[in-house]
A and B are shown apart, each in its own frame.
With several copies, the nearest count.
Chain A
Amino acid sequence: SKKLLTKTFKVINKNFAQITATLFPQGRGHLELEYSRNPAERKAKIFVQPQGKQVKKLNLFSGGEKTLIMLALMFAIFMTRPSIFCILDEADAALDDENLSQFVKLIEKFKGKSQVLLISHNRKTFQSFEYIYGVTMRGGISKVFSLKVDE
């Protein structure tokens, strides 16, 4: 129903603005909902403005900036309605060192809300968390070892 959607959207937007303010220092982001009776015509637009920049179109942002926008959107929805788990498969691949730390901080903030499973080649990422699983392939067959790390 319209009321429920606009109410939920408002909360997600507040969360999105909060997370983008951390991921883009002195920048800001917000979401806009264009409601219509016809579900196929409803739209949700994303606006982000990093500090000092005037760029408006999403596809003019860089690979790393798009990763941050996507993470902000995902976690904004998560804060409103957490799901049993969330999975991030090398979501940190395009990030520079500075943003890699932001990525780890964001996950640490959320790990109380729901279980997080992540895959990464960045030592800085996987060494920050308590349960590590090693995966290997021998003779064309995958094996998984649990390397439970002490806190």
Chain B
Amino acid sequence: MYLKKLHIKSFKGFGDKTEIQFYEGVGAFVGPNGCGKSNIIDAIKWCLGEQKVSELRGERMEDLIFTGSSLSQPHGFAEVEMIFDNSTKIFELPYQEVSIKRRLYRSGEMSYFMNGLASRLKDIHGLLENTGLADLSYSIIAQGKIDKMLSADDSERIILFEEAA
């Protein structure tokens, strides 16, 4: 079970459709300051259902849609799709691959898809239940956040262990 593909369309700096092929093991992203590395992590968090735009370094959901550049006009919607390998049936579905997709229009309209079928955020959470991705606080160390994660209150920290139990 691993993340096989990531498709990003007009999410933050990804003005052109981007497809990333992943493999099992370790994948390292490198590149100059401001080129879009952390935006890939934001795209993953958002696709998995993140509701707080501050966790994605924005002020409003609209900040997540490509605002244009010297080469292009602002886009009307953003879309991210994650395709997982399901050969070990980590997702309780009869398919070899499972896909989750999220789309946001400038109007604020939001939609979620599972294997191409429109679904609700609740369904996505249900799907992610026993994969360790329902609550990302322990699967992702965001840039510059180690100090904050460690200074969380002892009672906040217990959630990590409960999630694992």
Contact = CB atoms under 8 A, between A and B. Distances in A.
Judged by CB atoms under 8 Å, the answer to whether A and B touch is yes
Interface of A: 4-5, 7-9, 12, 33-34, 39-46, 50-71, 73-74, 77-78, 80-91, 93-96, 98-99, 107-108, 111, 114-121, 125-126, 129-137, 139-144, 146
A118 B27 contact: yes
Interface of B: 1-3, 12-16, 18, 20-41, 44, 57-59, 63, 67-72, 74, 84, 90, 131-133, 138-144, 146-147, 149-151, 154-155, 157-158, 160-162, 164-165
Given A40-B155, A89-B143, A90-B144, A142 B30 contact: no
B161 A33 contact: yes
Nearest to A35: B158
28 contacts: A4-B165, A8-B161, A42-B162, A43-B157, A50-B34, A61-B34, A64-B33, A74-B141, A81-B164, A83-B131, A85-B2, A85-B139, A86-B139, A89-B38, A89-B41, A89-B143, A115-B2, A115-B22, A120-B30, A131-B23, A135-B29, A139-B70, A140-B68, A140-B72, A142-B13, A144-B18, A144-B36, A144-B40
